[in-house]
């Protein structure tokens, strides 16, 4: 069963997106399309697969940052 993304989780990731430069673009998944922060905010608000995948990947990153596993990977070389 797939975990539902809460409104609060969406708000956290949207706030992160709003804090970055509008000149940055993101590639999500294996598609060739790039997304601006505005595009991603729309995808998140529309609850599309792209939006859900982006929110999930951002929370995975934040968890890895919090528990130190990201630093372990970065310093393992």
User: For residue range 13-64, what is the model confidence (pLDDT) as tens digits?
Assistant: 999 999 999 999 988 767 778 999 999 999 999 999 999 999 999 999 898 8
Tell me the C-alpha to C-alpha distance, in Å, between residue 10 and each of 28, 29, 33, 68.
16, 18, 22, 23
pLDDT given at position 66: 83
d(CA 23, CA 45) in angstroms, rounded, equals: 21
pLDDT at 36: 94
pTM of the model: 0.81
Position 2 pLDDT exceeds 80: no
DSSP E strand stretches across the chain: 25-27, 34-36
């Amino acid at each position: 069963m797939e975990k539902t993304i809460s409104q609060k989780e969406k708000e956290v990731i949207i706030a992160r997106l709003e804090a970055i430069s509008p000149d940055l673009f993101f590639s999500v998944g294996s598609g060739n399309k790039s997304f601006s922060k505005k595009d991603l905010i729309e995808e998140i608000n529309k609850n599309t697969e792209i939006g859900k995948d982006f929110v999930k990947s951002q929370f995975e990153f934040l968890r890895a940052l919090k528990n130190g596993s990201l630093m372990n990977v970065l310093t393992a070389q």
